[in-house]
Amino acid sequence: MPLDDILLDCEEHMEKAAEHLRHELRGIRTGRASPALVENIRVEYYGTPTELRSIASISVPEATQLLIKPFSPGDMKAIEKAISDSKVGLTPHSDGKQIRLSLPPMSQETRLRMVNQCKQHGETAKIAIRNARRDGNKLIDTEEKGGIITEDDAKKGREQVQDLTKSYEAKVDEVLEHKRKEVMEV
């Protein structure tokens, strides 16, 4: 495998890790209501776990409230149960046609807990990035031993993989800092 392909593959894995982090952080609560808090909750829908956003519309009528309108009224109980069982920490209030979720004001303690949760997601992303670096370096070593790339190219390739790792870890830190400011905003 040529060095360019190894680097491209490595960068692709690192980008996926960073994108996954962004996706995970969308579901972490800030001071405002966001459909991302509940849209990925799995609801038992005709025996199949289905994302909430697939079976209901989710809107934000007020800054601290979410409104969930199931496409089929028969799904109300299943949606309520899924929200109650999830780790979102919100209590659903149903009027028979729609479900309201009121977000309580966040205390400083809750905000710090959310920031720690963000940091855990960030560390997981960094581990994935470092694993991509390890895999890229292994491939470079294998190709060097096989005589496909020269020793100088292999050294240069390992340096490029390390540069990629540093840049993606910096992106993760940047995303985490942005989310931390968003969560700590009063």
Per-residue pLDDT at 80 exceeds 80: yes
Q: Which of 14-23, 82-91, 145-154, 171-180 has the lowest mean pLDDT?
A: 82-91
Q: Which of 12-16, 29-33, 40-44, 54-58 has the lowest mean pLDDT?
A: 29-33
Share the mean pLDDT of the chain.
89
Q: Regarding the domain delimited by 35-102, which CATH topology (the fold level of the hierarchy) does it fall under?
A: Gyrase A; domain 2 (3.30.1360)
For the chain, the structural domain boundaries read 3-26+107-184, 35-102
The CATH number that domain 3-26+107-184 falls under is: 1.10.132.20
What are the tens digits of pLDDT across the range 97-110? 899 988 888 788 88
Per-residue pLDDT at 32 exceeds 70: yes
Rounded CA-CA distance 122/23 in Å is 11
Predicted pLDDT at 186? 60
173 contacts 122 by C-beta, under 8 angstroms = yes
Rounded CA-CA distance 159/153 in Å is 10
Percent of the chain with pLDDT over 70: 99
Q: What is the DSSP string of 129-182?
A: HHHHHHHHHHHHHHHHHTTSS-HHHHHHHHHHHHHHHHHHHHHHHHHHHHHHHH
